[in-house]
Each structure stands twice: as structure tokens, then as C-alpha cells.
Amino acid sequence: MSEPVFSVIAPIYNELENLPLLYARVKEVMDSTGEPWELILVDDGSSDGSTDVMRSLSAEDERVRPVIFARNFGHQIAVTAGMDYSRGQAVTIIDADLQDPPEVILDLIAKWREGYQIVYAVRSEREGESWFKLTTASLFYKLIFKITDVKIPLNTGDFRLIDRKALDVINNMRERNRFLRGMGAWVGFKQIGVEYKRHARHAGQSHYPLKNMIRLALNAITGFSTYPLKLLTNGGVFLVGLSLVLLLIYLLLAIFNNFDLTYVLATWLTLIFLAGVLLIGMGILGEYIGRTYDEAKGRPLYIVAEGPKEPFDPTRLDNKINLEGTKNDEN
């Protein structure tokens, strides 16, 4: 089998009834490109027999490559494994429930051929989803867009095509709490959106309960924003300011209006002031924790899209330190 030009990745968690149709539609679409392709099915701990279907699909067609997890690790991790194992030059991530029509992959590929490195699919319409899901999802995207440092395009999911160059960078980001959409936006490169209509699930039901949506939202916020930290510090500054203004007002009233500054009032003022100071202190602590977290994520400092032929050699930095070390010893 020749090296695939295209990889399609589908995370699978109990999608027994969707798998055969997913395979059939992906096969038809990908065959029409005329290029070699692979379909990576990541089994995220299915218990409904999906695993056996994946095995038999790959026995029939060697382009189907199952990656079978030992247990459920969650959607974002399943997609990550798919990206790790993919070999194509252009890699598409798609949901297994056929909410994302495989035919749209051809539109994504067309943009990739024009030279874009990340082509994300934008949901212009969504059908068959509950009022609750639509409202929470829309609120979530707006909040993320407002408070994160990278601008994650609105109304996009993980359905997207990523070029090998950008994918290698994302694959090297091994942070454990993953929000792939944010990571995709963070790496940069030439990006563009393609609109599509998101369909209802073909069969089965959503495996994204509220609990998982909240976890994903937290990963998005903590991974790409320091806004909550700023809230602490700003709240603290506000309270300290408030207590000082109130103190001033009471003093003026006491001097000019013979107002009695009681112990109760004085205690309240002190409380507000102290709460403010504590919040500022927590904000400062948080700032250091935030920075430690940033270092722990170990993201690349920069990403080069085009550069000199000879790659940067980090050992040169080590040599310099050693040389200086020996020099000092001689003195």
C-alpha cells in the first residue's frame, strides 16, 4: 500500500449503527479524489460491539486502520491519537455519527489545494439538536471568543482539514487538558473556513453530556486565557477602592454633619478592605501559578512557516554554556 495522501480520522464511542455507513460514504468520497487515502478509526473504549465492526472493516479494506483504546479517554484524546497515527499530507477529522457529511471533505481538500494549511468547517445550520444544546453551545463559543487570547473561529467544531506541517506542530504539543480547536487557532498558518450544514445524528445518541461540555469549556478557558485570574485581581482592586471611597464619605460626614462613625460601620469597611487585599494577593499568586502552568504545557516558543534550509540546532546553545563553564574554571 502506498503512503496515503489523505487521512480521515473518526473517533468512535459506541457508534455501532453508524460505522458501516460512515465507511461507505468516506470510501466513496475519498475514492473520488483519485489519491491514496486511509481511514483511522479510534475506538475510545466502545462497549457496544463497534470494535468488532472496526476489525472486520479493516480486514476487508486495509486502508481502514483501527486504533483501539484500552478504555474511554474522551473525544479530544481519541482525536489526538488519530492525529498521532495519521500519515497523510492532509488530515481530516470527522465525527462518526455523520453529523458532519463526509462529502464536505472535498470542499476542504479544494481549499487545501489552494494553499491553506488549516481548513475548518463552519456550521451555517444545525439540525436535529435540542434547544438546550444549541443555546449552551452558542453561549460557549461566544464566551470563548471573547475571553481567550487566540481567536477561535465561531461555530466551528473539530471537523477540519489540517496540513501535515501544521499537524506536526500540534502533535508536538503534548498538554494533557486538550482543546484542539484552540490549539489549531494557536499554531497559526494560513487558515480559512468553509460553510456546511450540520445534520442530525444518523443513529444513536450524543455522548457529550453536560458534564463533558463543561469540562471542554474549562479546558478551553484555562488553556487559552488568563481572564479568570484578571477577574480576581480586578475584583480585589475594586473592593479596596470601594472601602477607601466609603471611608472618605464617612469621614466627611463625621466632620461636617456630626455623623457617628460606629464600630459596625468601621468593621464593615475593614472587612471590605481586607477582602480586596486578599483577592489581589490571590491574583498575584495565580499569576505565578498561571506562568508555571504555561511552562509546564511546554508549547513551542514560535512556529516557523518558512525559514532557512538548515534547521535550528538546539545543541549549539548547550555548547555555549559548556564553553563558558570551562573558561570560568581556567580563571
- Write out the residues near ligand UDP by the rule CB under 6 A: 10-13, 15, 44, 72, 74-75, 78, 95-97, 99, 206-208
CB 10 within 8 A of CB 95: yes
* Minimal CB distance residue for ligand UDP: 206
Choose between 74 and 283: whose C-beta lies nearer to ligand UDP: 74
CB of 64 to ligand UDP, least distance (A): 15
On the 0-12 / 13-18 / 19+ scale of CB atoms within 10 A, 73 is: middle
Q: Under the criterion CB under 5 A, does residue 100 sit at the interface with Mg ion?
A: no
Q: Under the criterion CB under 5 A, does residue 14 sit at the interface with Mg ion?
A: no
CB of 324 to ligand UDP, least distance (A): 51
The Cα 165–Cα 81 span in angstroms is 17
- Coil/strand/helix, residue 4: coil
Report residue 60 as a C-alpha cell.
476487508
Q: Under the criterion CB under 5 A, does residue 191 sit at the interface with Mg ion?
A: no
Choose between 95 and 158: whose C-beta lies nearer to Mg ion: 95
CB of 17 to ligand UDP, least distance (A): 11
Q: Under the criterion CB under 5 A, does residue 38 sit at the interface with Mg ion?
A: no
Choose between 100 and 163: whose C-beta lies nearer to ligand UDP: 100
For residue 41, the cross-strand partners are 10, 66
| One residue of 97, 100, 158, 163 binding Mg ion per CB under 5 A | 97
For residue 90, the cross-strand partners are 6, 163
The C-alpha cell 442530525 sits at: 200
CB 175 within 8 A of CB 80: no
The Cα 230–Cα 244 span in angstroms is 21
> Phi then psi for 244, rounded to 5 degrees?
-70, -40
On the 0-12 / 13-18 / 19+ scale of CB atoms within 10 A, 235 is: middle
Choose between 12 and 90: whose C-beta lies nearer to ligand UDP: 12
Biggest CA pair distance of the chain: 93
CB of 233 to Mg ion, least distance (A): 39
| One residue of 99, 148, 191, 219 binding Mg ion per CB under 5 A | 99
Size of the site for Mg ion (CB under 5 A): 3
Choose between 12 and 194: whose C-beta lies nearer to ligand UDP: 12
Choose between 99 and 243: whose C-beta lies nearer to Mg ion: 99
Report residue 78 as a C-alpha cell.
481519541
Residues that bind Mg ion (CB under 5 A): 95, 97, 99
